[in-house]
Amino acid sequence: MSARLDRLRALCLSLPEATEQVTWGTDLTFRVRDKIFAITGEDAGGVSVKATKEDQAALVASDPRVTVAAYVGRFGWVSVDLSGKGLDWTMVEELVRDSYRLIAPKKLAALVP
């Protein structure tokens, strides 16, 4: 298991009522009340999260590690490359928390600063 996956898992599962589920054979999905807020692979080489359409455009334009996510990009999702040096984990944490707040029921979302 990779240190990236350990760190991402700890972040996602620290959120209220978050669970982890293997989906599509190899992908790990992190969910709140069975709704996905983050998707990664077994090696955590990247993570896909929900963003608003406005934030999606700004994120993609501002950071080469961020791309429009395959299949669900039209709904605002972005993918973040977690491999390589110099990764800003603060940005990753903010993106995961923002995704959670967009997906979670309002009462749970309000618990996340």
Quote the pLDDT of residue 1.
Answer: 54
pLDDT at 54 over 90: yes
Structural domain boundaries, residue 68:
3-109
Which amino acid, one-letter code, is at 107?
A: K
pLDDT at 27 over 90: no
Quote the pLDDT of residue 24.
Answer: 74
Which of the residue ranges 8-12, 24-28, 33-37, 52-56 would you say has the lowest mean pLDDT? 24-28
Per-residue three-class SS string for the chain: CCHHHHHHHHHHHCCCCEEEEEECCCEEEEEECCEEEEEECCCCCEEEECCCHHHHHHHHHHCCCEEECCCCHHHCCEEEECCCCCCCHHHHHHHHHHHHHHHCCHHHHCCCC
What's the pLDDT band for 18 if we cut at 50, 70, 90? very high
Token digits of residue 12: 């996602």
Q: What is the CATH number of the domain that holds 91?
A: 3.90.1150.30
Average the pLDDT over 82-99 and give the result. 92
Instruction: Report how far residue 79's alpha carbon sits from residue 94's, in angstroms, rounded to the nearest whole number.
Output: 14
What's the pLDDT band for 91 if we cut at 50, 70, 90? very high
CB atoms within 10 A of CB 55: 15
pLDDT at 83 over 70: yes
When divided into structural domains, the chain yields a total of 1
